[in-house]
Amino acid sequence: MALGKKVMATHETVKRAIGLMSGTSMDGIDLAMLDTDGDGLVRRGASSFTAYDANFRKRLEQALVTARAITERGERPGDLAALEAELTDRHAAAVEAFLAREGMTAGDIDVIGFHGQTVLHRPREALTVQLGCGARLARRLGIDVVYDLRANDMALGGQGAPLVPAYHRALAAGLAGEWADEKPVVFVNIGGISNITYIGPDGALLAFDSGPGNTLIDQWVARHAGIPYDSGGAIASEGRVLAELANRYLASPFFTAKERISLDRNDFTLPGDAEAGLEDGARTLAFVTAAAIAKAQAHLPEKPRLWILSGGGRHNRMIVEDLTVAMRHTGQVIVAEEAGFNGDSMEAEAWAWLAVRSLRGLPLTYPGTTGVREPATGGVLARASS
């Protein structure tokens, strides 16, 4: 439901927020607007997507290599400083275009939640780097910006990810109709990396990365077909699962380790060019994505009754089919839209919600989501006037 012009809030804690997300797929900027108190009140509004051009995506991919030299969060070796400025300006342009489309101005928005682009994530070293300057964004737009939402969690012993689970729990509380009593429920975000959020019947919250999502598939088809992703799983649907290759991925110690760790885009690498053709490689990697999600059940206290899929991977029909088969005896698999949500904008919505939550000093992460020692708030506020 699109929200119109901002009206007088019914409570001083209710804010109109925009969330900005550029995920590990590095395909563009997701934007979503909410009216929210950063807690149980969530009124979803309009959303948009601004694609990156091919050249900019290549620069972001190169940034992953350059960022390996970073040992302190503030370092910007090579061209990372220039890239950070451009990425910030692209986010500003996306907001300006959205406001113009919606007939709104900067004065209609209370705060922006800004994720930036992760170029390095090493939870064992308590090191995470997101390109994006919150102060620059706030100055250009004339809107307060909350950014750097992961760092405090890591300073307190957490993995710094995933951050969306608390928002998933707020959405789960609003499930209605045939889904209202389907607990435990799991939200699955299939982005570059897949992560899951488990919400128990009593509201218990548990979350972790489950394995590769779209990133290997995207890299594979880019290398072998020169296209950014496998639209709808069309390429995968022409291939077959190569059991030996799939089993090699699924034998990774990541899946059986008791400690759930937050993954970096580079933690799983592509097959060799001689190991598979285009179609078989895409099909096998889609199967691995689904099987990795299914393996996550081993780390949950109960078998989920409902799996809600969001993120770009829900459009890959082979991933959805494989996951549906894997869960056929334990739970039902649906895409976010079947539950009344927007599976494309959910992460951006979360960043809007988290920004308001940060302003209130409420916890963003919990021991069961990131491994942080105690519930922790986070984020840095950049004032538009400063």
CATH of domain 165-339: 3.30.420.40
The DSSP annotation for 257-297 comes to -SS--PPPTTSS-PPPTTT--HHHHHHHHHHHHHHHHHHGG
Q: What is the crossing angle of helices 215-225 and 278-295, to 10°?
A: 180
- CA distance to 19, 134, 353, per residue, from 382 (Å): 15, 6, 17
317 Cβ contact list (under 8 Å, min separation 6): 232, 233, 237
Where exactly are the structural domains of the chain?
15-161+373-382, 165-339
- Note the pLDDT of residue 2: 43
- CB-hemisphere CA count at 13 Å for 338? 13
- Note the pLDDT of residue 8: 38
In CATH terms, are 15-161+373-382 and 165-339 the same topology? yes
- Fold classified for 15-161+373-382: Nucleotidyltransferase; domain 5 (3.30.420)
76 Cβ contact list (under 8 Å, min separation 6): 84
Residue found under tokens 């990425």? 87
- Note the pLDDT of residue 386: 63
Token digits of residue 335 = 């895409």
- CB-hemisphere CA count at 13 Å for 272? 3
CA dist., res. 140 & res. 92, Å (int): 7
Using 70 as the pLDDT threshold, list the residues of the chain that sit under it: 1-12, 386
What separation, in Å, do the N-terminal and C-terminal C-alpha atoms of the chain show?
34
CA dist., res. 251 & res. 199, Å (int): 27
CA dist., res. 8 & res. 17, Å (int): 14
Burial class from Cβ neighbours inside 10 Å (0-12, 13-18, 19+) for residue 122 reads: middle
CA dist., res. 287 & res. 319, Å (int): 6
CA dist., res. 358 & res. 353, Å (int): 9
Look at residues 51, 53, 52, 79 and name the one whose alpha carbon lies nearest to residue 65. 79
DSSP β-bridge partners for residue 18: 33, 112
* Torsion angle of the four alpha carbons 327, 328, 331, 332, in this order, in degrees rounded to the nearest 10: 100
* Torsion angle of the four alpha carbons 141, 142, 144, 145, in this order, in degrees rounded to the nearest 10: 20
Cα 316 to chain centroid, rounded: 17
Q: Is 196 helix (H, G, I), strand (E, B) or coil?
A: strand
CA dist., res. 290 & res. 295, Å (int): 9
69 Cβ contact list (under 8 Å, min separation 6): 75, 77, 78
pTM of the model: 0.89
- Note the pLDDT of residue 203: 87
CB atoms near residue 301 (< 10 Å): 9
- Note the pLDDT of residue 11: 57
